[in-house]
Amino acid sequence: MTQIAVIELRAPSDGRSGRVFLDRKLLERFKLEDLEREFEAAFIDPEDEARMDLIEALLNAEQPLQVSIFPGEQSPPEFHAYFRDPNDPESRLFACVLVSEPIVRKLLEAPPHMVFETETFQIMGSDTTSASLQSAFEAWAGRLWPDRTLPKFEILPWPIEEVHGQPPTPPDRPKGAPRGAVASLPDTDFPTPEELSA
């Protein structure tokens, strides 16, 4: 199993922070400065900047914010977090993806064997309970806005029974009788329970 090293990074230019998870063997190849440079370059996609401005406007309102969490479609799932706009509850604003440790381990199996936290990517432990999702989301927000007082986040997780898949819906009737037996009684003139107990 890959031995993972975790390093806290801080972008030299603006102080934004995040972690890199990497195969320990890579520590011999890269300096901290290399990782920090990569972290800074990959931190935010230009097309996300306008949405981040909208999120900041929500934070500026200094009122509790609801955050809906939706599992992805893989197993185990990654979790997609959205702010709900208090002025328009039907409108959702993407915040970040929360990713558990088993997924990170899988990602580390492929080159370049390192995974950076970014503006939209937050790594959490293997526990994906509501409390852990809340904690991971708060860690994400604290990382992006380290110098401001953040509002209370009310996490609205997807129902846990749907995260792990519902059991298959039973069919209306048995699809087939065992060993070729006839599924219906050929003779309906059978005794009732009352007759049997008489």
Q: Pick the closest to residue 123 from 93, 75, 78 (CA basis).
A: 78
Residue with tokens 């604290």: 142
Query: Site residues for other proteins, window 122-151 (CB under 8 A)?
Result: none
179 DSSP 8-state letter: G
Q: Which range, of 93-101, 137-145, 146-154, 164-172, touches other proteins by CB under 8 A?
A: 93-101
Determine which helix (DSSP H) or strand (DSSP E) holds 97, and give its type and residue range: strand 88-99
Query: Site residues for other proteins, window 160-179 (CB under 8 A)?
Result: 162
Q: Are 103 and 5 in contact (CB under 8 A)?
A: no
Binding residues with other proteins: total (CB under 8 A): 39
Of residues 74 and 192, the one with the C-beta less far from other proteins: 74
Of residues 50 and 198, the one with the C-beta less far from other proteins: 50
Minimum CB–partner distance for residue 187 and other proteins (Å): 48
Q: Pick the closest to residue 83 from 60, 104, 106, 105 (CA basis).
A: 60
Minimum CB–partner distance for residue 158 and other proteins (Å): 6
10, 51, 105, 143: which one binds other proteins (CB under 8 A): 51
Interatomic CA distance for residues 73 and 80, integer angstroms:
11
Of residues 93 and 144, the one with the C-beta less far from other proteins: 93
**92 interacts with other proteins by CB under 8 A:** yes
Whether omega for the bond prior to residue 112 falls within 30 degrees of 0, making it cis, is yes
